[in-house]
Structure 1
Amino acid sequence: MDFGPFLLLALMEGLVTAAVLALTASGLSLVFGIMRVVNVAHGAFFMLGAVLAWFVSQWVPGPAGLSFAVALILCPLIVGAIAAVADTVVLKRLNYEPEATIVATIGLLYIFEQAALSFFGPDARPVPAPLSFRIQLPWFGYSGYKLAVVVGAALVLLMVWLILKHSRAGLIMRATQIDRDTARAFGINVDRVYAGVFAMGAGLAAIAAVLIVPIQQAHYLMGGDPLLLSFIVVIIGGLGSLRGTLVAALIIGLGDGVISTFFAPTLAKIVATLAVGLILVLRPQGLFGKRAA
């Protein structure tokens, strides 16, 4: 196969990575943008989505498409509920102090990983894909499900944008982001908003995990790479900027696909980390972030 088809394949694989990464990183960016919480447990929420998807695939009888549809609806709701409880029980009691919440979310990360190890086990386990058809291009065949992942992620991101920009809930979130004390003075239940935002961020990570787990496999330690890459994307795009997160996810995802195909996956992570260093030196607020006054 010539260079051109190899490059096309690398870009298509990178697009799948970018789509899932955009979903995961947007949840992290949303939590930081509104709550100013650096959520180190975000990778654990990603992992929980994948592990729960495996349990659903075992419990729901019938074709793979049915169990996948149930997992896509049920798993983000369960993970979001877990996140809301964690916010209420842990983060709220710490008054969302930056240093304390970092330590607390690190603790939550280990708690969720050990819980998954206890109930799920140490083995990686496959989840059947709901679609099995392949698209035949002139040079190679490509998984139709992977293209469906890109479309599904784009639809979810569009829904998130509509909620944030064109709904009453989004208006309340933005008001809380600007000044939570003033928002509370106008009768907004800030604690409920924060719990909802934390749940929404975790739910986005869970959706990303459910979409990708038929391509990968569910494992109790699988949240590490998504967490690292999400932080890289959020830093490059700009903390709290959804637009920056999407652009950075596209850059990192496509770069990962090309570098992993032609060189090595480890080199892709090294390049992404170096990109973060350059951004922090040349433009600390990120590509689309706002410079602090």
Structure 2
Amino acid sequence: MEIGPYLMLASLEGAVTAAVLALTAVGLSLVFGVMRVVNVAHGEFFMLGAVLAWWITSLIGGHPALGFAVALLVVPVLVGLLAAAADMTVLKRVAYDPERTIVATIGILYILQQVTLMTYGADARPVEPPFNTRLALPWVEFVGGKLQLYWPWGLSTTSYKLAVIGAAAGVLLGVWWGMTRTKVGLLMRATQMDRDMALAFGIPVERVYALVFGLGAGLAAMAAVLIVPIQQAHYLMGGDPLLLSFIVVIIGGLGSLPGTVVAAILIGLSDGIISVFFSPTLAKILATLLVALVLVFRPQGLFGVRRA
């Protein structure tokens, strides 16, 4: 069989990675863009979302769709509230100083990780997908000078993976709409442009910061809920999403949401294709090299704006 069907299958796998990565990285980019805070604990909020999804689905039982629906609605809110509380009790106390916030978020990282280890344990645990129908994928080839549709043996994906792509796209559109069409989004953008001027106009900047920090963590938790039926919940699973999110926001431009989404698609698709045809390690190496090239030739990122 020709390489085309395999390339399509690898691209679909990469699209799932890109969708989840875009949600996670947009949360990280939003926090940095508005607050100028490098949230090192972002991956642990992702991990916490996966663990809470497992806990809720196990607690509810019954049909997998019921527990998953509750987890999808409740977990991002819980993680977002926890992150907002961490902002008000920790980051606010260090006055959002860049160096001290890095140390503070490292501390939050280890607290979340170790508390999860003590309560959840070290085992990786699966979450059953709400639906998981196997779907055969068609391919087109030329036969006798005409296009002919056929279904190669073994070329398939699942309905849940396609749903993950659609759900992530819907949430990202919702974030874009909220940032550009609502009063809350206007307050966020005003705070991002000039914090002191926002304070002068009476904008409650500290509340905006708490909202943004909670929203960023909630997006990471939602990404984890979506991906945990494909992967497994584990207390150390936050490392890779954090690393890839940093790679994405650096390539796309720190604080640029469109750049973050484009970079996530680029990294996700390349990771899926390279992992299928070569190895996952090579995909990570090439992504790291791409970051180095961006930092050398365009430090502000592909969509970032150079600051004076």
TM-score (norm 2): 0.94
SS of residue in 1 equivalent to 2:135 = strand
The 5 Å alignment of 1:202-217 reads 202-217=217-232
- Hey, what does 1:170 align to over in structure 2? 185
SS of residue in 2 equivalent to 1:135 = strand
Q: What do you get for the CA RMSD once the two structures are aligned?
A: 0.7
Q: Once structures 1 and 2 are overlaid, which stretch shifts more, 126-135 or 279-288?
A: 126-135
- Hey, what does 1:287 align to over in structure 2? 302
Residue identity matched to 2:108? L
SS of residue in 2 equivalent to 1:172 = helix
- Hey, what does 2:145 align to over in structure 1? none
The 5 Å alignment of 1:225-236 reads 225-236=240-251
SS of residue in 1 equivalent to 2:265 = helix
The 5 Å alignment of 1:36-185 reads 36-137=36-137, 138-139=151-152, 140-185=155-200
Contact 2:9 2:156 in 1 (8 A): no
Distance 2:157 2:83 in 1: 36
Deviation, 1:183, is: 1.0
Residue identity matched to 1:74? V
Residue identity matched to 2:16? V
- Hey, what does 1:242 align to over in structure 2? 257
- Hey, what does 1:222 align to over in structure 2? 237
- Hey, what does 2:142 align to over in structure 1? none
Q: Once structures 1 and 2 are overlaid, which stretch shifts more, 132-141 or 246-255?
A: 132-141
SS of residue in 1 equivalent to 2:157 = strand
Distance 1:241 1:269 in 2: 23
Residue identity matched to 2:167? G
- Hey, what does 1:9 align to over in structure 2? 9
Deviation, 1:118, is: 0.7
Following TM superposition, the consecutive aligned residue runs of length 4 or more in structure 1 with deviations greater than 6 angstroms are none
Q: Once structures 1 and 2 are overlaid, which stretch shifts more, 137-146 or 88-97?
A: 137-146
Distance 1:184 1:238 in 2: 26
- Hey, what does 1:195 align to over in structure 2? 210
Q: Percent identity?
A: 67
Deviation, 1:135, is: 1.3
For structure 1, the 5+ residue unaligned runs are none
Deviation, 1:288, is: 0.2
For structure 2, the 5+ residue unaligned runs are 138-150
Residue identity matched to 1:222? M
Distance 1:229 1:172 in 2: 29
Deviation, 1:5, is: 1.2
Deviation, 1:227, is: 0.2
Deviation, 1:61, is: 3.0
